[in-house]
Structure 1
Amino acid sequence: MDITNFQLSNFLDSVLTPEKIKDFCPNGLQVEGKTSINKIVTGVTASQALIDQAVDVGADAIIVHHGYFWKGESPCLTGMKKKRISTLLKHDINLYAYHLPLDIHPELGNNAQLAKRLGIIDLLPLEEGNSQSVVMKGRFPHPITPEELNQKIHLSLNKLPLHEPADKNQINTIAWCTGGGQGYIEQAANQNIDAFITGEVSEQTIHIAREMNIHFYACGHHATERYGAKALGEHIQNHLGIESIFIDVHNPA
């Protein structure tokens, strides 16, 4: 079975509703390729390595979390960007990208998928009253120790996190934002959350964690955002009958 590239675009927009949130890049079809689609590759970032692997497996479309044309970047198609886009055009591959819509989707999103892997329940927006919050809060079914959470993250993401401990022996409540969400740690601490998880860490984040007494875990931008694209591909395969292959291009960041 196959569908057209614009039918896939309409399906993705209906699932992820990008019109509901302001973003730093265009969401949806970013580079148009062939009309007929019967094989999709999903991944985190539209890097050259992902594109090359998509070419190798004969993909008609690539769907990623991190695409192109970010606000503030040069619009010129030169260097690395020229090579990436020329590869897509040469092989007539469609590129779709969904940034914040793929972070916040309540089932397929990066935040929801991370919560599922870590066993977090009772999910709510950390930004109270904002249904499009990119940072979430919840709790564990039973309190766990900081060391147990560290091990749970390690096993779930296959990555040992950076942990800045707090003066709390147990963790019940937790807030998290996949990717570069370290700036939300103060909001979590102000709501008396026991621990905060994100992908990246900034120098000041450690001081905030120490002074506001909240456990902080930096688990890797890539590692925390692998699972939304994978879940989206599986959703497409289940609902549209289109073959979907998730390709994880290793990135230690």
Structure 2
Amino acid sequence: MAALDDIVQHVNRTLVAAAIPDYCPNGLQVEGRSEVATLISGVTACEAVFGNNAEIGRRLGIEGAQAVAAGGTEGLLWFGDLTAALGAEALAERIDQVLARRPLVVADHGRPIRRFGWCSGGAQGFLADAARLGCDAYLSGEISEKTMHEARELGVTYFHAGHHASERFGVQALGEHLADHFSLTHRFIDIDNPA
């Protein structure tokens, strides 16, 4: 058992929650009891250590992963190199295996993909930033009408993986960390959403 207030304070300190602007409520959503034995987590959360992007990079086997500022938030846009160059179809297959969601591939330029950029969730607006970093391809969780044209014009293959699919890992990693840190039972509940 652990005190709820201790868990909330630990999460807020670890994730620097107050420093990250968002359009929706974050943090503790259902208060429950003051003493906690079991922690239930679900989408969405993101941070460099426990975050969606760190986990996507790790699970895709990206080498030399780095996080840079995007949209006014430090460490939001990630990029690195694939262990071996892949075609868009082969990379889409790998993404499908990792995220359990087949990505929509936009603007396959037919060139090998080596430098890869990504940002989970609604980050299609960082495509030009990924291009400036020299990325051959970029993945995010959402797509806009302009994304297709932008990907074509920038020469960057775009992978639309689904917002929910791209944001499962961070909250799972955070839940596992909290379970270890506070000796809790952790259960991740995944209510699938194709968006």
Q: Check the 8 A contact 2:107/2:148 in 1, yes or no.
A: no
Counterpart of 1:111 in structure 2 is 53
Partner of 2:40: 41
Counterpart residue type for residue 21 of structure 2: K
**How far off is 1:30 after superposition?**
4.3
Tell me, yes or no, if structure 1 residue 156 matches structure 2 residue 98: yes
Q: 1:212 to 1:109 in 2, by over 3 A?
A: same
After superposition, the Cα gap between the structure-2 partners of 1:186 and 1:206, relative to the gap in structure 1 and judged at 3 Å, is: same
5 Å-filtered alignment, 1:15-164, equals: 15-44=14-43, 65=44, 102-103=45-46, 105-127=47-69, 132-164=74-106
Amino acid at match of 1:10: Q
- Separation (CA, whole Å) in 2 of partners of 1:237 and 1:33: 17
Q: Does 1:228 align with 2:170?
A: yes
Provide the rounded CA distance (Å) in 2 between the counterparts of 1:39 and 1:225.
22
- Tell which has more relative contact order, 1 or 2 (C-alpha 8 A, sep 6+): 2
Q: How far apart are the structure 2 equivalents of 1:248 and 1:28?
A: 17
CA distance in 1, matches of 2:23, 2:164: 18
Partner in structure 2 of residue 52 of structure 1? none
Q: How many residues align?
A: 194
RMSD (Å) for aligned C-alpha atoms: 1.8
Cα distance, 1:41–1:32 mapped onto 2, change above 3 Å:
closer
Question: Matches of 1:146 and 1:184 in 2, distance apart?
Answer: 19
Higher mean alpha-carbon deviation, 15-24 vs 191-200, is at: 15-24
**Distance in structure 1 (CA, Å) of the matches to 2:75 and 2:14:** 17
Partners of 1:110 and 1:141 in 2: CA distance: 20
In the alignment, structure 1 segments of 5+ residues that lack a partner are 45-64, 66-101
2:141 to 178, 196, 199: 199
Any residues of structure 2 matched to 1:166-245 within 5 Å, and which? 166-245=108-187
Measured after TM superposition, the shift of residue 167 of structure 1 is 2.4
Aligned 8 A contact 2:39 2:179 in 1: no
Question: Any idea what SS the aligned residue of 1:207 has?
Answer: helix
Tell me the residue number matched to 1:6. 5
Residue 248 of structure 1 is matched in structure 2 by: 190
Q: Residue deviations 1:76-132, cap 9 Å, x none? A: xxxxxxxxxxxxxxxxxxxxxxxxxx32x222101111111111121222438x882
One-letter code of the match for 2:28?
L
How far apart, in 2, do the equivalents of 1:245 and 1:125 lie?
Answer: 28
Q: Which protein has the larger Cα radius of gyration, Structure 1 or Structure 2?
A: 1
In structure 2, distance between residues paired with 1:31 and 1:247: 14
C-alpha displacement of 1:235: 0.8
Please tell me the residue identity of whatever aligns with 1:43. G
Q: Shift of residue 199 of structure 1?
A: 0.7
Encode CA deviations 1:164-218: one digit per residue, 9 max, x unaligned.
1332421110111101100000111233310000011110000001111110000
Q: Secondary structure at the match of 2:66?
A: strand
Unmatched 5+ stretches in structure 2: none
Tell me the CA shift for residue 142 of structure 1: 2.0
Cα shift readout 1:20-52 (whole Å, capped 9, x = no counterpart) = 3333345433453321111111111xxxxxxxx
Distance change (3 Å), C-alpha of 1:43 and 1:28: closer
Percentage of pairs with the same residue: 35
Q: By how many angstroms is 1:133 displaced?
A: 2.9
